[in-house]
A and B are shown apart, each in its own frame.
Chain A
Amino acid sequence: MTAALAWSDAVTAAQLFALDPIGSGGVLVRSRAGPARERWMAMLRAALPPSGPLKHVPLHISDGRLLGGLDLHATLLAGRPVAERGLLAEADGGVLILAMAERLSSATTVHITAALDARETIVERDGISLRVPARFGVIALDEGLEDEFAPGSLGDRLGFHIDLNEVSIREADEFATDQPAISEARERLSALRTDAEQVEAMCTAAAALGIVSLRAPILALRVACASAALSRHDAVEHDDIALAARLVLAPRALVFSQQQEPAPLEPPQEMPPSEGDDNADKDNPDIERPLDEVILAAVQAALPPDVLAALRASSARSRGRSQGKAGALQKSNKRGRPAGVSRGELRAGGKLNVIETLRAAAPWQPLRRREAAASGEPSRPRILIRKDDFRLSRFKQRTETTTVFVVDASGSAALHRLAEAKGAVELLLADCYIRRDQVALIAFRGNAAELLLPPTRSLARAKRCLAGLPGGGGTPLAAGLDAAFALSDSIRRKGQTPTIVVLTDGRANIARDGAQGRPRAEEDAINAARQLRMADITTVLVDTSPRPGPSGGALAREMGARYLPLPHADATTLSKAVLASMG
């Protein structure tokens, strides 16, 4: 798809979204911040009804602000609990804008998707119990690089997915938005319906495109209605269906056969040509074709095969990789495990628990008022709070551990020990699962190290990665240690504790720059090992060589690692020893 086409699709999406923000769910905009995105946003704002609210959700919004809770100011002023509406409720009837959607924490995502599903928010916080309507459309700005994506559960609920990364400002022609025309079309929307044939065709097309979620065809049908309203059609026409398919289904397509042969999730099923036009001529692609073929053709026009291949690759990679994970990891650290509330003084770093403080102060109010009145204090506040009322939230910081396995898959190791190392890693993985640690897997062979598995809790994935690990080639030990160091660093920045387990025979023969030769390679490996020691990372070095020599021990010393020479151990012994030394 050319940039101009992408832009014109984005413009159409903006108009249709503005027409029916709640019904179409929203727009997932994959684009780095830039002038094209700015122009698109400006156009969208112009198209939206001026009366509706437009609310920005900051990335690290607290649950309290998002969902609502106790309004401290009003509560203190009024002397009774006053609820504060959260951002979700404030966005009711309008649009919610999520910046950096790819970094959205899983907690925030869940609150937003729950509101999208129920069209209301349920507040059970700070002594307040409320149900408030929250009907809104979402603009999710996904600024992710290659392998960072907005959470899948969010994208699934947003009708339009557009990509402006390839669009430069020169191609982004300004479109005049006809706000009155859109408002007028909005009036017509409620009268428009899709018929049974159209529902069937959209479902068939979605299945043929490998789209599993049923939200996609449902959203596409609503978009078709919006399109009909905008083009002043009396009923939803083929064009509207085709446009909706192009905008909603095409970006989600996972498979697309070259011919019109459907490649659905199930054994191919011939769609009965609707209403007797069974002599649909394949050579005449205009009106006589069954509707689902019209849809597929529309989608195909939007997606040349090479884009599809890229799409498929990216979606295969994205499956659970870093979808909104940055947040998920932070969650437990930011809050720790609330370990109750304690009486205490307000000092820097202490977190005042307002509601509990008020509760502590409450029983004393009549008494204090009388006291205050007796001593003739002027202009007393409604609620008298003393120092011993202060209640602080306590958190038990349970920092998560991420165990990074660095596996030597080189020829020298592979021949002897790779199978056993795999077995041991599997057993260790199982143990990490029990402790709910995360695991990551780095393998080095040939002339580079590769991060096979970014930190995850999914053991099934870890196991698949491990099973598919090929062996052979040189031993770029330095590269492996460097990769482990870089990963540990990023783990630390997320507030977690990294532990590294290196399984190698220590016979480095590839230097950092990929050059062969044992002396340089060993020197580089020693340097990389020192780096780990300097960073003070808990490390275990398992020497898997058949005759452990002094080199392994020396390397471990440089690394500050525990050294485990395990020449003849089987997987079980190996995992036990590693566990013991990890403490």
Chain B
Amino acid sequence: MATAFPFSAIVGQDEMKLALLIAAVDPKVGGVLAFGDRGSGKSTAVRALAALLPKMKVVAGCRYNCDPDRPVEFCDDCRGRAAKGALKSAQVPVPVVDLPLGATEDRVVGALDLERALARGEKAFEPGLLARAHRGFLYIDEANLLEDHLVDLLLDVAASGENVVEREGLSIRHPARFVLVGTGNPEEGELRPQLLDRFGLSVEVRTPNDLPSRIEVVRRRDGFESDAAAFTATWAREETKLRKKITSARERLPSVNVPDSALERATRLCMALGTDGLRGELTLMRGARALAALEGKSSVSDEHLRGVAPSALRHRLRRNPLDDAGSSVRVDRAIAEIFG
């Protein structure tokens, strides 16, 4: 796609935008799932994020986007080269890699490079999408329709942060840590619970139903379609501002303080909701901290917990599949009880 719709020009959808920004500030929150109505701008937001993100530093020429400042996490190539001499680094855009439905396994994990093998008889590894997405985002549109064997693969890699390839006589392992971003429409099927669990934040997206925002959405879309370059230019300033916000939030993140009282509240909230495991608390804490960093605060407060709790917890409730009352309602109720 030539030009992406500017992130800051997306009308409404605050929860989704916030979740994506939080993931951009702290990739450790573990992915964003956006489920909702057709035509509500889910894919637009993800693609817009790609254009928004600040560039990142990589080892020049590395096929796995290794970070020159973290030699511990180097791939085998970089390790070999680092032993011989200093590595050059380069600035590249953060990868936002599409995992299209219908992708085959060899392209996802990587496989023997067929061209070199056939033409020259060489055994070389051709990295797949997981390698390309390392330190960036892996985006699955219509995640609920992804074929099961690819889901299994993703689950394995997302859990270990490493892609292990054993095929065609190749034996390769390389780092593959990425933020999983999935979108989908619940009418077309549910997401496998195991995959659901992998997403740190889950947001529900609805088409705005108040007239002024609907008009604004259409107007901006219309403006973008008629002249993408001019439209993007008018939003360039907003985009730069937002980009700066992400950069400074990333710098601030390690120093943001999480007081004991906030930890206690987070735990109480998770207990009240009966979420499984500790992942809910962890995501809640990380998300709140990233939110505090985004807002330029030095310490996590109740407001931040409140802001993140619905997206961090709604997909972790032990679900009664027959309960019509949405999980969001239950989370809201629990928040109201605990935060008063």
Residues in A with CB closer than 8 Å to B104 are 124-126, 355
Contact of B88 with A by CB under 8 A: no
Q: Which residue of chain A is the closest to B47 with respect to CB atoms?
A: A118
Contact of B92 with A by CB under 8 A: no
Contact of A127 with B by CB under 8 A: yes
The answer to whether B111 touches A127 (Cβ under 8 A) is yes
Partner of B145, one of A106, A119, A203: A106
Partner of A200, one of B112, B113, B117, B215: B215
The answer to whether A106 touches B188 (Cβ under 8 A) is yes
The answer to whether A337 touches B118 (Cβ under 8 A) is no
Interface 9-mer from A90-98, A279-287, A357-365, A487-495: A357-365
User: CB within 8 Å of A: which of B80-110?
Assistant: 98-108
Residues in B with CB closer than 8 Å to A430 are 320-322
Interchain nearest-CB distance for B246 vs A (Å): 25
The answer to whether A320 touches B187 (Cβ under 8 A) is yes
Contact of B148 with A by CB under 8 A: yes
The answer to whether A457 touches B190 (Cβ under 8 A) is yes
The answer to whether A213 touches B102 (Cβ under 8 A) is no
- Given the known interface contacts A127-B107, A153-B38, A463-B322, the answer about A80 and B185 at a Cβ–Cβ threshold of 8 Å is no
User: CB within 8 Å of A: which of B189-245?
Assistant: 189-190, 192, 207-211, 214-215, 217-219, 221-222, 225-226
The answer to whether A204 touches B211 (Cβ under 8 A) is yes
Residues in A with CB closer than 8 Å to B189 are 106, 328, 457
Interchain nearest-CB distance for A531 vs B (Å): 32
Residues in A with CB closer than 8 Å to B209 are 207, 212, 265-266
- Given the known interface contacts A153-B185, A430-B321, the answer about A119 and B118 at a Cβ–Cβ threshold of 8 Å is no
How many residues on A have C-beta within 8 angstroms of the other chain's C-beta atoms? 78
Interchain nearest-CB distance for A86 vs B (Å): 10
Contact of A218 with B by CB under 8 A: yes
Residues in A with CB closer than 8 Å to B148 are 332, 337
Contact of A196 with B by CB under 8 A: yes
Residues in B with CB closer than 8 Å to A215 are 38-39
Interface 9-mer from A109-117, A171-179, A477-485, A502-510: A109-117
Q: In whole angstroms, how far apart are the Cα atoms of A575 and B198 in the complex?
A: 31
Contact of B114 with A by CB under 8 A: yes
The answer to whether A79 touches B118 (Cβ under 8 A) is yes
Contact of B72 with A by CB under 8 A: no
The answer to whether A63 touches B102 (Cβ under 8 A) is yes
Contact of B123 with A by CB under 8 A: yes
The answer to whether B119 touches A359 (Cβ under 8 A) is no
Residues in A with CB closer than 8 Å to B162 are none
The answer to whether B142 touches A363 (Cβ under 8 A) is no
User: CB within 8 Å of A: which of B97-153?
Assistant: 98-108, 111-115, 117-119, 121, 123, 126, 128-129, 141-142, 145, 147-149
Known pairs A221-B222, A460-B324; list 17 more (Cβ under 8 Å). A80-B119, A106-B189, A121-B100, A124-B99, A124-B107, A127-B114, A194-B222, A206-B214, A213-B39, A215-B38, A217-B218, A218-B218, A222-B225, A362-B112, A367-B121, A430-B322, A463-B322
Contact residues of B with A, CB < 8 Å?
Answer: 1, 37-40, 43, 98-108, 111-115, 117-119, 121, 123, 126, 128-129, 141-142, 145, 147-149, 168-169, 185, 187-190, 192, 207-211, 214-215, 217-219, 221-222, 225-226, 320-322, 324
Q: Nearest 8 pairs between A and B by C-beta?
A: A362-B117, A124-B107, A124-B103, A366-B121, A215-B39, A63-B102, A213-B39, A265-B209
Contact residues of A with B, CB < 8 Å?
Answer: 63, 66-67, 79-81, 106-107, 110-111, 114, 117-129, 152-153, 156, 193-194, 196, 199-200, 202-204, 206-207, 212-215, 217-218, 221-222, 264-266, 269, 319-320, 328, 332, 335, 337-338, 355-356, 358-360, 362-367, 383, 426, 429-430, 433, 436, 457, 459-460, 463-464
